[in-house]
Amino acid sequence: MALTRRSIHFDLTRADVLASGHVQPDPSLCVQCGICSYNCPLGLDVRDYAWRGAPIFDGQCLTCGQCVARCPRGVLAFARTGMAQQVVPLRPNPKD
Amino acid sequence: MAADYVIVGSGVAGIAAAEALRARAPGASITIVTEDADGFYSRPGLAYYLSGTIPEKQLFLRSQADLRNLGLRWVQARATQIDVVGHRLVLADGRNLTYDKLLIATGARAAAPDCPGGDLDGVFTLDTLGDAKRLVRKANNSDQAVVVGGGITALELAEGLHARGVNVHYLLRGARYWSNVLDAEESHLVEDHLRSDGVELHYHARVRQALGKKGKLIAVETDSGEQISCQILAVAIGTRPHLDLARAAGIKVDRGILTDAYLRTSAPDILAAGDVAQVYDERSGIASLDTLWPTARAHGEAAAATMSGAPAPYQRTAAMNVTLIANIPTTIIGALGSGSDEDLVAIARGDSESWRGAKPAWVIVEQHEVNRVRLMLGERTISGALVMGDQTLSRPLHRLIAAEADISPIRDALLADQHAMPQLIAAFADEWERSHAHNA
């Protein structure tokens, strides 16, 4: 696969989120349907975090986004943990 | 002596109350009385089970072990009577349970089909997991279904049956879908999506009767005389709170069981929570019904505080639901519509009476092909909003509406240029959050 600027940008952004982000639920929207837990590739019980309103601070969480994307009610979102400063920011391409 | 708490109902209001009671009173006796053989599961999740998105077992958010660890006594029975003076709950099998505090969290049941033939085999309403399982089994052996009703449940039935390979006819009694919450454009967006998914819509169509053969549904006849052959008639014309227990005990009821902000009913030591409760709101001075899962959970937790002797009022916030309507992410916040909807005889599930309390307001709409934001703009505040498609604005809007934020600084700009609305709201919400955090 050609290594396009876009794919580099995607990978670096993802790396940034992996290094510095977590998934944050909003329990006021959640109806505990369990679609998030069902689709977690690591088998984490995301729904239980959503019940407690707790960020998914689990060493196994890949922040892959499956739960975020599949939640039908927008309960889950990526949030920064404040460690993002340690990641070198991407320089915009002057040609863009 | 340790307190004796009895909770009737195993939905989210009842279980949230039980969990909160256990945390507050580790030594108390807590008994759950439920008719539902499946116990506690995500009722809104039934839509996703019906469409095949998740398997049945995924609906259970507490394992048997979780429930055992809570130290609950589980009684599967129907509660028939309350002896208010003697503090006793009477069960259908003749048993008696004494209580110090009793919580009624019996929820609501779907209104029965209102046409002749409504008792035929093949006519369904969707209340419980048992209903959903029977419907799935029937769908696997059916090729045609008719859906009637309104609100979110009717759509979930139409889409769920369609996802199971059944050809679905959705009959609307009026000119458009959910006319007392959505505006005409929003209704049409939903209807267009349904049609493109393959659901057949019929307007101004009312079922005159369901036709059967040997007790089994074979067709419905509409009031224009048209017959649509089908093996399933799914009916979602609204829900009604289970009031029998409270009525028989002489507890004050209106559309639901009337409670104060602390979830206390008119009878001593008896509380109500969830879809069954019509809870008084001190700020608005109105008692209203909600059929929203997060609201029911919050009711249960507030009731537990009152039951354990540390009352804290249930704080009503702007009612909000986020869901997929015909696959379009949609957020409904605050007061947006008014009047009645011909397709519903009572409140639907996933609904709030407050959404229909719209006051005279400027309506501002910003729409692109798939994304739409509608604001109800009062003199100083935003009283309601509906966000379809892109959900960037739904959280900021909920915050501004719930807090009754004074939007006068951008009001004129909003009225002058509705296309600038998303940017204006986003920037204002950012600024408001910053000053709010600073003041707090």
The reply to whether B112-237 shares the fold of B4-109+240-307 is yes
Which chain B positions have a beta carbon within 8 Å of A73's beta carbon?
Answer: 322-324
Nearest-by-Cβ selection for A28 from B45, B54, B294: B294
User: What confidence tier does B112 reach under pLDDT thresholds 50, 70, 90?
Assistant: very high
Mean of the per-residue pLDDT values of chain B: 92
**End-to-end CA, chain A:** 22
Which fold does the domain B112-237 belong to in CATH?
A: FAD/NAD(P)-binding domain (3.50.50)
Interchain pair B61, A74: CB under 8 A: no
> How far, in Å, CA of A81 to CA of A48, rounded?
20
How many domains in chain A?
1
Q: What is the CATH number of the domain that holds A45?
A: 3.30.70.20
Interchain pair A38, B331: CB under 8 A: no
Cβ atoms of residues B24 and B82 within 8 Å:
no
Q: Is residue A89 part of a domain?
A: no
CA of A72, closest CA in chain B: separation in Å?
6
Question: For A37-50, what is each residue's pLDDT tens digit?
Answer: 999 999 999 999 99
> How far, in Å, CA of B374 to CA of B183, rounded?
9
Amino acid at B253: V
Q: Quote the domain boundaries for residue A31.
A: 22-84
List B374's β-bridge partners, or say none: B365, B386
Phi, psi of B385 (to 5 degrees): -155, 150
User: What confidence tier does B282 reach under pLDDT thresholds 50, 70, 90?
Assistant: confident
Which fold does the domain B320-439 belong to in CATH?
A: Enolase-like; domain 1 (3.30.390)
Query: Which residue, among B389, B383, B335, has the nearest Cα to B367 in the 3D structure?
Result: B389
Interchain pair B323, A72: CB under 8 A: yes
Query: Which residue, among B428, B381, B424, B375, has the nearest Cα to B402 in the 3D structure?
Result: B381
Q: CB pairs under 8 A, 24+ apart, for A45-52?
A: A46/A76, A47/B61, A48/B61, A49/A23, A49/A25, A50/A25, A50/A75, A50/A76, A51/A27, A51/B61, A52/A27
Q: Is residue A3 part of a domain?
A: no
> How far, in Å, CA of B378 to CA of B392, rounded?
22
Interchain pair A31, B293: CB under 8 A: yes
- Residue A87: predicted pLDDT: 42
Which of A24, A29, A33 to probe the B interface (max B CBs under 10 A)? A33
- Residue B370: predicted pLDDT: 67
* B311-333 mean pLDDT: 86
Interchain pair B294, A74: CB under 8 A: no
Domain B4-109+240-307 has CATH 3.40.50.2020: no
- Residue A2: predicted pLDDT: 45
Q: How far is CA B368 from the centre of its chain?
A: 29
Complex prediction ipTM: 0.86
* B257-285 mean pLDDT: 95
Cβ atoms of residues B88 and B94 within 8 Å:
no
- Residue B336: predicted pLDDT: 80
Residue listed under structure tokens 């609501």: B108
List B234's β-bridge partners, or say none: B124, B147
Amino acid at B265: T
The angle, 0 to 180 degrees and rounded to 10, between the axes of the packed helices B421-439 and B408-416 is 170
The helix or strand, by DSSP H or E, that contains position A6, with its residue range, turns out to be: helix A5-20
Q: How far is CA B308 from the centre of its chain?
A: 27
Question: B432 pLDDT exceeds 80?
Answer: yes
CA of A73, closest CA in chain B: separation in Å?
5
Question: For A13-44, what is each residue's pLDDT tens digit?
Answer: 566 666 677 899 999 889 999 999 999 999 99
- Residue A5: predicted pLDDT: 53
Question: For B33-61, what is each residue's pLDDT tens digit?
Answer: 999 999 999 999 999 999 999 999 999 99
